[in-house]
Amino acid sequence: PIRETLASVSGKEPFLTRNTPQHRALVYLADEDAKQLDPYNHKESMIQRYGIVVLFFALNDKNTWLHRDYWMSKFHECHWENVICEDWMEGGRKVTKLNLYSNGLLGQIPEEIGVLDALDAIDMTNNTCTGTIPEGFEQLKRMKELRLDQNNFEGTIPDFLFKYKHLEILTFGTNKLSGTISPNFAKMDSLKKIYLENNDFTGTIPKEFGDMPQLMDLMLDENQLEGIIPTELGMCSNLEKLGLYSNSLTGTVPDELSRLKKLKILYLDHNSLYGEIPAWIGGLTRLTDLRLQFNDFHGRIPDLSSLRSLGEWFVAALCRMLSYKIHG
């Protein structure tokens, strides 16, 4: 009966081969787990525990995890280290958050993560996860924070992610993701922070980002993006961080960006932008970090003395760096 219950999640094939994460989880739940859940009376509880156990075997095959207190113990999985649960209206406790930041994860996230359908936050930052973003994530419709940066994920951003209605933070930076950046991000009305830096994205910056007035952080640095900076970004009235450095962007800096009065970080360096540095940059008084160097700007450096948050030394250093490329 245990095998049949788990096969309803994973299918039969994974259990035909020893040492798959699914087979190892089956053996653990059937023979080794002191909790010994009854698949007839506690089916949902068994499936949740199965999802967590498969995740452990899939990402800890080399025994690399750094923080794993109580994992694979007799205690309820909600007591395992960095697993956070909440009482659920249907009864029992459900896993709502996985905080596995810098934990030595190694391997591919199993599709069985989809059975943890109460998850609203996953943090797997700074590990060695590989493969593509699993289709099992499609079942995680309550997701608010999805942090997968600093891993080795490949492939494209799957379309189902754009159906997340509650997602507020998405960080996929420093991976090996590719393809174009979808305009469908604009359909995500709750999304406030997008981090896609240091990947292999190509194409242009979607103008549809301008339809996201709630957007606070947009970090697209260190990709292979080309074309111009969309004027529509000026509609992102709550934007605080805009990172576009180390791409192949061309054209001038659009005057529409002067509307971004909440901007604290603006990275435009290491592109092929040209024209004069806009004088309105001096009016973005909340800026704490500004990078314009290594472009093809010309003309005079505008007055940046009002950018007091940068400090006089920073403005002076910026002017010195820019002077190598700009002629007064």
- The C-alpha atoms of residue 275 and residue 278 are separated, in whole angstroms, by 9
Mean pLDDT, residues 206-223 taken together: 98
Residue 225 confidence (pLDDT) above 90: yes
In this prediction, residue 275 carries a pLDDT of: 94
- The C-alpha atoms of residue 55 and residue 49 are separated, in whole angstroms, by 10
- The C-alpha atoms of residue 69 and residue 260 are separated, in whole angstroms, by 46
User: For residue 153, how many other CB atoms are within 10 A of its CB?
Assistant: 23
The backbone torsions φ and ψ at residue 243, rounded to the nearest 5 degrees and listed phi first, read: -120, 115
Residue 325 confidence (pLDDT) above 70: no
The pairing of strands 289-291 and 128-130 is unpaired
* Dihedral angle computed from the Cα positions of residues 311, 317, 322 and 328, in that order, rounded to the nearest 10 degrees: 90
- The C-alpha atoms of residue 143 and residue 186 are separated, in whole angstroms, by 17
DSSP tally for the chain: helices H, then strands E: 4, 19
Reported confidence tier of residue 88, pLDDT bands at 50, 70, 90:
confident
Percentage, residues of the chain above pLDDT 70: 95
Residue 322 confidence (pLDDT) above 70: no
DSSP at 142:
T
For the chain, the maximum distance between any two Cα atoms, rounded to a whole number of angstroms, is 80
Residue 327 confidence (pLDDT) above 50: no
Q: Find residue 176's DSSP bridge partners.
A: 154
Which residues contact residue 147 at a Cβ distance below 8 angstroms, ignoring those fewer than 6 apart?
Answer: 101, 122, 123, 124, 125, 169, 171
Say which residue, 304 or 256, is predicted with more confidence: 256
Residue 98 confidence (pLDDT) above 50: yes
Mean of the per-residue pLDDT values of the chain? 93
Mean pLDDT, residues 4-24 taken together: 94
Residue-wise pLDDT for 24-76, tens only, equals 999 999 999 888 888 878 889 999 999 999 999 999 988 999 999 999 999 99
In this prediction, residue 162 carries a pLDDT of: 97
Residue 14 confidence (pLDDT) above 50: yes
Reported confidence tier of residue 302, pLDDT bands at 50, 70, 90:
confident
Residue 291 confidence (pLDDT) above 70: yes
Query: Which amino acid is present at 141?
Result: K
Say which residue, 293 or 175, is predicted with more confidence: 175
Give the DSSP H or E segment for 160: none
Residue-wise pLDDT for 236-288, tens only, equals 999 999 999 999 999 999 999 999 999 999 999 999 999 999 999 999 999 99
> How would you write 68-115 as a 3-class SS string?
CCCCCCCCCHHHCCCEEEEECCCCCEEEEEEECCCCCCEEECCHHHHH
In this prediction, residue 299 carries a pLDDT of: 82
Residue-wise pLDDT for 111-138, tens only, equals 999 999 999 999 999 999 999 999 999 9
Residue-wise pLDDT for 173-191, tens only, equals 999 999 999 999 999 999 9
Mean pLDDT, residues 93-101 taken together: 97
